[in-house]
Amino acid sequence: MKEKWSIVELKIMRRALVLARKGLYGAHPNPMVGCVIAKNGRIISEGYHKEFGSLHAEIMAINKVKDKSMLEDSDLFLTLEPCTHIGKQPPCIDTIRQIRWRNIYIASEDCDKRVCGEGIKILRKDGFSVRFGLLEEEAINLNKVFFTFKIQKRPFITLKAAVSTNGFLAWKDGHSKWLSCEKSLIEAHKLRAEADGILVGRETVQNDNPELTTRLFKGRSPKRFIIDRRNKLSLKYKVFEQKSPVTYYITTKRNLHKEAQLAKNGHKMIILNESNNKINMEELMFKLHELDISHLLVEGGGKTISEFINNSLFDKLILCVTPFILPQGRGFAFFNESNTSHPSLALKLIFQKNIGQDLWLEYQLLKEPYEFA
């Protein structure tokens, strides 16, 4: 039987979710967590996990309350169940158990195998009133990157492309600077700050010579991944000349001299196997998971993005539609006409906004394909 939630309970947990999102740029590799302490329906303290290694949300909220007697018979609202293991911080469960709470509201379980419902079990065994599932779907969606990484053993993958109104990604000669407006470029750098890794193909490096950093937005730059199956790129480009962030050069052909040159700037070469004359995507996902890349942003070009689409290997697609009609250009390289066995893919538009002169569309990949009559 599903619990029925009051308007006040819903309002307070929504506040906890808003707080949790403040950790978007710093909490990784931990999940985003928000906490609210309320007494008689009135909020008396708040907290969130600001950055990796810092205080967890519930400890921050508890510490803020100077008169600890106020905590007795108050309600604790958590967007994620408390941790039970020792990491950068002691287990939160130990501090929580020392206080006599009236109710403990937990939105979602922690899918980390070290926790995985254990925090809830311990609290209930201790006799606490644990009310689980308040805004559970919203809480899981907030940490979809964390859940994808832990459960599917691969990064959450966002594909992002700027396109002309008639669907081209770049001019005919291959360069894509600058289809999108300046405000969109800043938005793109904000998106980079959310990711742990950013990936592009050889042609994007050759045509645009990008830095792939967050220089237009105050945030950490993701690790850079360059796919060059045949190992053709020279090392004259910015992604190799800059020492930070680290660049991983992904190829199927080993070149010891180039590998040594990369190492001088702190960069690394990753050798993967081929599959049908392409990078083995399953092996790539395993390697990214091994490198602790929980959110991968794929920025191009058309062939690289299309390879992820062809393998149904993405979670979100973001299109920045620009107000240009190009007479000629380069677009996506979707399914081969001979590949009739590939299912159609269904996308759900989950968000749209105007940024400057551009229209940003955000789609979620649905698990079930469309069935056409």
How crowded is residue 185: how many other Cβ atoms within 10 Å of its Cβ? 18
368 included as an active-site residue: no
- Same domain for 132 and 176, yes or no, is no
Given 144, 167, 192, the domain boundary residue is: 144
78 and 212 inside one domain: no
Give the bridge partners for 132, in sequence order.
Answer: 106
Domain CATH code at residue 180: 3.40.430.10
Same-domain status, 197 and 93: no
pLDDT string in tens for the chain (373-residue length): 678 899 999 999 999 999 999 999 999 888 999 999 999 999 999 999 999 888 999 999 999 999 999 999 999 999 999 988 666 677 889 999 999 999 999 999 988 777 778 889 999 999 999 999 999 999 999 999 999 999 999 999 999 999 999 888 877 766 666 689 999 999 999 999 999 999 999 999 999 999 999 999 999 999 999 999 999 999 999 999 999 999 999 999 999 999 999 999 999 999 999 988 899 999 999 999 999 999 999 998 889 999 999 899 999 999 999 999 888 878 876 554 445 556 678 899 999 999 999 999 999 999 765 554 4
Which of 144, 177, 212 lies at the terminal end of a domain, its last residue? 144
Q: Do 60 and 201 share a domain, yes or no? A: no
Domain that holds residue 106: 7-144
Judge if 52 and 140 occupy the same domain.
yes
Point out the domain boundary residue: 144, 173, 189. 144
Residues 125 and 194 in one domain: no
Asked whether residue 226 is assigned to any structural domain, the reply reads: no
Give the CATH number for residue 63: 3.40.140.10
CA 90 to chain centre: 26
> Does 240 fall in a domain?
no
Are 202 and 339 in the same domain? yes
Answer yes or no: do 27 and 157 share one domain. Answer: no
State in Å, rounded, how far the first CA of the chain is from the last one: 38
Give domain status of residue 43, yes or no: yes
Round to whole Å and give the CA distance between 310 and 317.
13
The number of CA neighbours under 13 Å toward the Cβ of 202 is 12
> Nearest Cα to 239, choosing from 273, 198, 271, 270?
198
Domain count of the fold of the chain: 2
134 and 182 both lie in a single domain: no
202 and 327 co-located in one domain: yes
> Which of 9, 46, 58, 299 is labelled catalytic?
58
Same domain, 87 and 206: no
Cis peptide upstream of residue 301 (ω within 30 degrees of 0): yes
81 domain-assigned: yes
Q: Determine contact, residues 39/75, Cβ cutoff 8 Å.
A: yes
